[in-house]
Copies of this chain bind each other. A is one copy, B any other.
Amino acid sequence: MRISELSRRSGVPVATIKYYLRENLLPKGEAVSATQSRYSEEHLKRLRLVRALVEVAEVPLGRIRSVLRAVDDPELDLHTLLGFAQYAFTQSPEAPSGDDPDWQRAEHRTAELLAQLGWQAHEASPARGQLVQAVAALERLGTPPTPEMLHGYAAAAHRTAELDLDCVDPGMPREATVQQVVTTSALMEQTLTALRLLAQEDESARRFGRGPWQHERPEDGGAVEGRARE
């Protein structure tokens, strides 16, 4: 198909497709002449994947590029690919600025937690870094997470990880599996977050509330006065 058809079928403007082509988020089409290339169903699938990642999961294009590079590497096995996907999707918290006492304590808490859980995590894992960063931030705000809480969250996280991997079938063709891996990493995250928020709403209503939330924004001009019935 031509670029205009690719645009029509995906709902993405031609200019944006050209941009993705330039940015190596979409492989070039097969050049038919100097002014025409042919795009396949694979291109359409890839484009839809990129759009889902951009629109729904809000992954920056740079990280999407990294993931796709790994996806397109036929050498990588499933386990390694999952690792790359994780690496690409997680923002590395970079320099801990050295001698931050809160960071040190967070490092210690994290190491202890992982040891108790028996999880083997790479020392330089970005997820580990993110965990330390979050714990350090909580320390700094004066509300450090208790080991019990962390264990509780870890148990829930472990349950979701099992579910994540349940839908990855190593016997399927690589293409399909790869898509599954990437969508699992990114879109299931969104799903899980949304479910958690909905569960919070329900649980909050049960504990201290009087029904579901009123969803008005506290935008400029008030509108705050008309909150839940009193």
Contact = CB atoms under 8 A, between A and B. Distances in A.
A203 interface: yes
A66 interface: yes
Interface string A87-118: 11011010000000000000000000010000
B141 A48 contact: yes
Interface stretch (A12-20, A29-37, A155-163): A155-163
Total identical chains: 2
A21 to B, nearest CB: 11
A64 to B, nearest CB: 12
A66 B227 CA distance: 10
Interface of A is mostly: helix
Nearest to A191: B134
Counting contact residues on chain A (CB < 8 A from B), the size range is 35 or more
A128 interface: yes
A224 B69 contact: yes
A28 B53 CA distance: 39
Interface string A182-198: 01010111111111111
B137 A52 contact: yes
A4 to B, nearest CB: 20
B131 A191 contact: yes
Contacts of A126: 197, 215
A160 B156 contact: yes
A2 interface: no
The 5 closest A-B pairs by CB, nearest first: A83-B213, A79-B209, A161-B199, A127-B197, A157-B195
22 contacts: A24-B229, A45-B141, A52-B140, A66-B218, A69-B218, A73-B218, A76-B227, A80-B227, A86-B200, A86-B201, A87-B217, A120-B201, A120-B202, A120-B212, A127-B194, A131-B191, A131-B194, A149-B167, A152-B160, A153-B188, A156-B159, A165-B207
